[in-house]
A and B are shown apart, each in its own frame.
Chain A
Amino acid sequence: MNQGIWPAVLGRFEWHELPFVRAWENPTASELIGAGAALIVIIGAIAAIALITRFGKWRYLWTEWLTSVDHKKIGIMYIVLAFVMLSRALIEAVLMRMQQAAAISTPGFLAPDHFAQLFSTHGTIMVFFMGMPFLVGLINYVLPLQIGSRDVAFPLLNSISLWLTGGAAGLMMVSLVIGEFSTGGWSGYPPFTELAFNPGVGPDYWIWAVTLSSIGSTLTGINFAVTIYKMRCPGMRLMRMTLFVWTTLCTSILMIFAMPPLTVATAMLALDRYLGFHFFTNDLGGDMMNYANLFWLFGHPEVYILILPAFGVYSEVVATYSTKELYGYTSLVLATAAIALLSFTVWVHHFFTMGQNADINAVFGIATMAIGVPTGVKIYDWIWTMFRGQVRFTVPMLYSLAFMMTFVLGGFTGILLAFPPLDYLVHNTLFLVAHFHNMLIPGLLYGMLAGYHYWFPKAFGFRLNEKWGRISFGCWVVGFYLAFMPLYVLGAAGVPRRTQGMFDPIFRPWLYVAGVGALILFAALGSLFVQLWISIRERDDNWVFAGDPWDGRTLEWSTSAPPPEYNFAVIPHVHQRDPFYGAKRGNSYAPPTSYSDIKLPKNSVTGPVIGVFGAATAFGLVWHMWWLAIIGVMAIIATVIARSFARDVHKIIPAAEVERTERRWLRAVAEATPIMREVEMTSANQGLAEVSR
C-alpha cells in the first residue's frame, strides 16, 4: 500500500486501518467490539439501501425529501438524523458505563485507546450531531408556522446547512469503519491533539466533522435570525411572538457569534497539523491556552444554544397543558435575553485551574452565578403558569415537570462549581460529568422529547401512543437519576472523568448503580422506538387531521395536521399574543374570501451536492488523499457558481389547488367532533378542541 501509485491514491490508508483487519490480527474483546460496530454501520447502510430499492422509493426519497427545501421536511430530516446519532452515542455511553463497572482494579474489556475513542465520539455526537440537529429540526418545523410564514428566509441555505451537518455526521459514521476517531475528547484540547502526540487520523476526523457542522450551524443561525426579523406575518410584533420564537432568536444570535470561534479554533489546529504551524504546540511559541479560550468562547454559549430552544418548548408546553396563558411573558423574554448575553461572559469557568489570578477567577465565578438568576426566574414563571390553571399530565407536560425539578439540582451543583475554590476539587472529575449531564439531559433532551411528542401530531397527522410515551418517560427519568447521581459521589471522591479503569474497589456499588442507570436509559430509547412503531401501526385510530389536538394557542395549530406545503392559504393577521386562542373564539375555521396562487421555492440538488462533496473533501483531508480534497472543493465552488445562474427556482401552486386542499381540510374540521380536554389522550381526539367562550 505504500509503494508506487498507491500513496497518491489512497493517501495514508493501510489495511490495518480497517477494524476487521485489526480484529483478525488481534482478536481481543475490545477489537471485536470495534469490528462489530463497523459491521453494524455497514449492515445498516446496506439494509437501508436494500429496503429503499425493494420498495422502489428512490425517486420518492430524492424528489420529496433529499432535494426538498421545505422547512418542514428539512426539520423532520434533522430530527431523523438526531435519533440515528442519539442511538449510536447512547450505545457508546452504555459501553463506557459497563467498562467502568467491570474495570475495578482490572483492565475490563475495552482497551484504553478504544475507551478514549468512545468518550470522544460520545461527546462530539451528543453535542454536534444529536443536540444541534434535534433543536435545529424542531425550530425548522415550528418557527415559520409560529410566525405565520410560508418558509424560512433562505430555504436553499437551509438545505445546505442540513446537508453539511449530515455530511459531517456521515464522516463520524465512516470513522467507525475506516481508521479510528480522536482520543482527545469532544473538546479536542491540544497539545494532546497535535501531531507530536497524535499523528494518526483520529484528531483529523474530529477536526473536519466539527468544522463542517460548525459552518452548517453558523448558516442556520443566520437563517433563523433573518427569518424572525423579516418573515413575521402582519401584526406579529416582537412582543407578540411565542416564547419558542424568542428563544430561537436568542439561540440564533448565539450561533452567529459563538460558532465562528470554534471554526477558527479547529482551523488553526488543522493548520498546526497539516502545514506545520505552531498555534497550540508545545514548542516554537505555541500556546494551548489560546485554544482553551477560543474553544470555550464557543463552548459556553453553545450550552445555551442547546438549552434555550428547550426552554422555548417548555414555555409552549406548560402554557398549553395548563390551559392557561403563559405567566410573566415579559419577564421570560428578558430572562432569555439576559441568559444569552451573560453566556458570553463566563467562558473562563471551564478552566479556573489554568493558573490565572484570583481576581479573574472571582469575576468569572460571579458572572456564572449571575446566570442562575434569570434561569431561576424562568422556572418560577413556569410554576406560576400552572398556578390557577388546569394541568393535564400528558407526556410533554411530564417531561416539563421532570425537567424543572431535575434542572434545579443541576443548578445547585452548578453554583458549587462556580466557586473557583470548589471547582479546583471536582474539575475534571465525574462530579463535573454528573453536573453537565444534569443540565443537558433535562435542559436539552427532555425538552427535545417534549417538543417531539407535542408537535408530532402536527407534523404527521396522528398522535403518538400515550402508554409507551409514559414508559419511555419513566425510563429517561429513573435512568438519569440512577446513572448520574452516583457520579456526583464518585467525583467528590476524586475519580477523574475519562478514566478507562477504576483504582479502588470501594467505588463498586456506585459504578453498578450507574451501570444499571445506563441500561435503563437505553431501554428509554428503545421504548421511544417501540412507541413510534406502535403509533404508526395504530395511526388509523389517532388521526388529528383537523390540526388542533391539544387546544393549542399559537398559529401552528391553526393549520391542518400535517400542514400543506404552503403552510397558510392566506397569511394570517395577528392582533394579540396567543393568536389562535383568540381566533378560535371568533371564526377561525371560516374559509377565506378568495384564494390566490402561491409561489414557493423549487427543490434543489445544491444542498445534497454540497453536503456530499463537503464530506468527501473532509474525508480526503483526513486521509491525505489530496486529489479527493481538491475535487471536492472544486465541485463545491462549481455548484455554487452553477446555482447562481439558475433562474427557474420557483414553482407556483395554483389557486385552484390551494382551494381544493383547504376545502378538504375545512370539511374535515366541520365533520370532526370537538372534544373536552379530559379525552384528548383517547381516540376521540380528532384534532378539534371544544372552545369555552
Chain B
Amino acid sequence: MKVLRGWPLLFAMPPLFLLSGCDALKLGVVNHAGPIAASQWHLYVIVGIVLVFVAGPVLLLTPLIAWHYRLSNKYSAFRPKWNFSWTLEGFIWIPPTGIVIGLGFLLWHYTHALDPYRPIASNLPALEVQAVALDWKWLFIYPDQRIATVNQLFIPVDRPIHISLTSGTVMQALLIPQLAGQIYAMAGMTTQLNLAASRSGVYRGENTQFNGDGFQNEKFNVTALPSVDFDHWVARVRTSSHPLDASAYAGLFKQSSPPQPIVFSSVPQHLFQNILAQSKEPRS
C-alpha cells in the first residue's frame, strides 16, 4: 500500500497544473481589456471552432484505420490493388477547399477591420502617442501634452489611442497582448498602431523582437486610467520639473535597461520627427 500512497496526488496534479496554467493566460489576449484585443479573441474562437472540425477527422481516422487494418486483424478487408475512388477524392478536395474559401472571406473582413492602421471609431478624438524603440527601453512621447515617459505608458480608458512608432536603433516590435497586436518599429520609418482600453488596469507591454543583451528586460506597464485620473496624471508629470533636455536625450540613446520608469515634464518640439530624420544621417 505504501507504494500507492503517492497516486492520489499524482492524479490531482494535472488539474492543479491546468488551474495554475490558466493564470498564465491571464497575461494574454484571453483576458482582453480593449475592443481590438476583444475582437481578436473573438476571431480566435471562431477560427478555432472551425479548425476543430478540420483537424478532428484526421485525429480520429488515423489511429482508427491504422488499428482496424493492422496485419493481425484477420477480419478486416484486404484489397492491395485498390488505389482510387472518385467519391473519396471529392471528399478530400472539395470540403477543405470550401472551408478555406469561407475562412478566406472571414480573413479578408477581419484583416481590414483589425488593421492596426485603422482608426478606432469613437466620439472622442484619439490620444496621440509617439513611441520610440531604444536599446533597451521604450520612449513614449505625448506630443499634445508635451510630456514623455520611458518604460511606462499611461492611457485614458475608453478613448482611442493612436501610436506612431519609430526606432532610434535596430528594429523592434511593440506588443501589449491584452490590448492589441504588435507592429514593428523601424529606424527612419513610421508605423502605426491603434488601440484602446475598455477598463482600467495595468497591462504588460514589451518588445518582442530580439535586440541584444537587455532584450529580456524590455518590458513596461500600460496603466489605463479613467479620463479624469489621466488628466491628473498629466498635470502631475508636467509639474515634476524633469525636462527632457540635451543631457537626458543623450542618455536615452545609450544602451541601458532603466531600473525604474522615467517621466519627463516637457519635451522639445518635433522630437519624434527629429529622431526619424536623424536616423537617416550617417552614424559617427
Interface residues of A (CB under 8 A from B): 111-113, 116, 183-185, 189, 191-192, 196-197, 282-285, 288-289, 322-329, 331, 351, 353-355, 357-359, 361-362, 365-366, 369-370, 372-373, 376-377, 379-381, 383-384, 386-393, 401, 404-405, 408-409, 411-412, 415-416, 418-425, 427-429, 489-490, 492-494, 496-504, 506-507, 509-510, 677-678
CB neighbours (8 Å) of B84 from chain A are 327-329
Q: Are B215 and A327 in contact (CB-based, < 8 A)?
A: no
Residues of B with C-beta under 8 A to A357:
115, 117
20 A-B pairs within 8 Å (CB atoms) are namely: A184-B210, A191-B187, A284-B282, A328-B92, A329-B83, A357-B115, A359-B112, A370-B100, A372-B100, A373-B100, A376-B96, A381-B92, A384-B85, A412-B55, A419-B110, A428-B208, A494-B27, A494-B175, A504-B24, A509-B17
Say yes or no for B6: interface residue by CB 8 A criterion: no
Residues of B near A329 (CB, < 8 A) are 83-84
Contact A405 B69 (CB under 8 A): no
CA distance A191 to B187 in the complex (A): 9
Minimum CB–CB distance for A510 against chain B, Å: 6
A421 and B27: CB pair below 8 A? Answer: no
B248 interface hit (Cβ, 8 Å) = no
Which of the residues B23, B55, B82, B186 comes within 8 Å of A506, measured between beta carbons? Answer: B23
Whether the pair B171, A283 counts as a contact (CB closer than 8 A) is no
Contacts of A384 in B (CB 8 A): 85, 88
Nearest residue (CB) in B for A370 is B100
Name B182's contact: one of A192, A425, A493 (CB within 8 Å): A425
Residues of A contacting B93 with CB < 8 Å?
331, 373, 377
Tell me whether A419 and B47 are in contact (CB under 8 A).
Answer: yes
Q: Which residues of A contact B30 (CB under 8 A)?
A: 492
Decide yes or no whether B245 CB sits under 8 A from chain A: no
Contact call A185/B210, Cβ cutoff below 8 A: yes
Which one of B57-65, B155-163, B236-244 contacts A?
B57-65
Binds A, one of B71-79, B123-131, B262-270: B71-79
User: If A357-B117, A500-B215 touch, does A415 touch B170 (CB 8 Å cutoff)?
Assistant: no
User: Does chain A have a CB within 8 A of B116?
Assistant: yes
A192 lies within 8 A of B58 (CB): no
Cβ contact within 8 Å between B89 and A328 = yes
Q: Report if A323-B80 is in contact (Cβ < 8 Å); known contacts: A358-B111, A428-B173.
A: yes
**Which of B47, B104, B171 lies in contact with A422, CB distance below 8 A?**
B47
- B177 near A494 with CB under 8 A, answer yes
- Of the listed residues A351, A381, A425, the one surrounded by the most CB atoms of chain B closer than 10 A to its CB is A425
Known pairs A323-B80, A492-B28; A379 contacts B279 (CB<8 A): no
Contact flag A405-B63 (CB < 8 Å), given A369-B103, A372-B96: yes
- How far is it, in angstroms, between the C-alpha of A177 and the C-alpha of B179 when the chains are bound? 45
Max count, chain B CB within 10 A of own CB: residue among A191, A401, A418: A191
Residue numbers in A under 8 Å from B184 (CB-CB): 351, 353-355
Q: What is the bound-complex CA distance between A510 and B21, given in angstroms?
A: 7
Decide: A112 near B215, CB < 8 A? Known: A362-B108, A494-B175.
Answer: yes
A404 to B177, CA, bound (A): 32
Q: How far is the CB of A116 from chain B (nearest CB, A)?
A: 7
**CB-CB < 8 A to B177: which residues of A?**
425, 493-494
A501 touching B216 by the CB < 8 A rule?
yes
Q: Is B224 an interface residue (CB 8 A)?
A: no
Chain B residue at minimum C-beta to C-beta distance from A421: B114
Specify which chain A residues have a CB less than 8 angstroms from the CB of B207 in the assembled complex: 496
A516 nearest CB across to chain B (Å): 12
Residues A420 and B111 in contact, CB atoms below 8 Å apart: yes
Measured between C-beta atoms, what is the minimum distance from B204 to chain A in Å?
7
What CA separation (Å) do A195 and B86 show in the bound complex? 59
Q: Known contacts A329-B83, A369-B103, A420-B111: does B182 contact A376 (CB below 8 Å)? A: no
The answer to whether B58 touches A353, judged by C-beta atoms less than 8 angstroms apart, is no
The answer for the CA separation of A197 and B167 in the assembled complex, in Å, is 14
Q: A362-B108, A383-B65 are in contact. Are A423 and B181 (CB under 8 A)?
A: yes
* Minimum CB distance partner of A500 in chain B: B216
Q: Other than A369-B100, A392-B71, give 13 A-B pairs with Cβ distance below 8 A.
A: A111-B213, A192-B211, A283-B188, A283-B280, A284-B282, A285-B280, A357-B115, A380-B58, A408-B58, A427-B173, A427-B182, A503-B217, A507-B24
Partner of A408, one of B55, B81, B187, B189: B55
Q: Give the residue of B61, B78, B170, B204 whose beta carbon is less than 8 angstroms from that of A383.
A: B61
Chain B residues near A353: list those with CB within 8 A: 173, 181-184
Query: In the complex, what residues of A have CB within 8 A of residue B116's CB?
Result: 355, 424
Residue of chain A at shortest CB distance from B214: A112
Closest CB in chain B relative to A210 CB, distance in Å: 18
Q: How far is the CB of A582 from chain B (nearest CB, A)?
A: 11
Q: Smallest distance from the beta carbon of B207 to chain A beta carbons, Å?
A: 8
How far is B29's CA from A328's CA once the two chains are assembled, in angstroms? 42
B192 within 8 A of A: yes
Contact A283 B279, beta carbon cutoff 8 Å? yes
What A residues does B171 contact at CB under 8 A? 189, 191-192, 288
Those of B88-111 within 8 Å (CB) of chain A: 88-89, 91-93, 96-97, 100, 103-104, 106-108, 110-111
Bound-state Cα–Cα, A329 to B17, Å: 46
Q: Are B215 and A499 in contact (CB under 8 A)?
A: yes
Say yes or no: is B40 at the interface (Cβ < 8 Å to chain A).
yes
Q: Are B47 and A415 in contact (CB under 8 A)?
A: yes
Q: Chain B's nearest CB lies how many Å from the CB of A117? A: 12
Residues on A with beta carbons closer than 8 Å to the beta carbon of B210? 116, 183-185, 192, 496-498
Which chain A residue lies CB-closest to B85?
A: A384
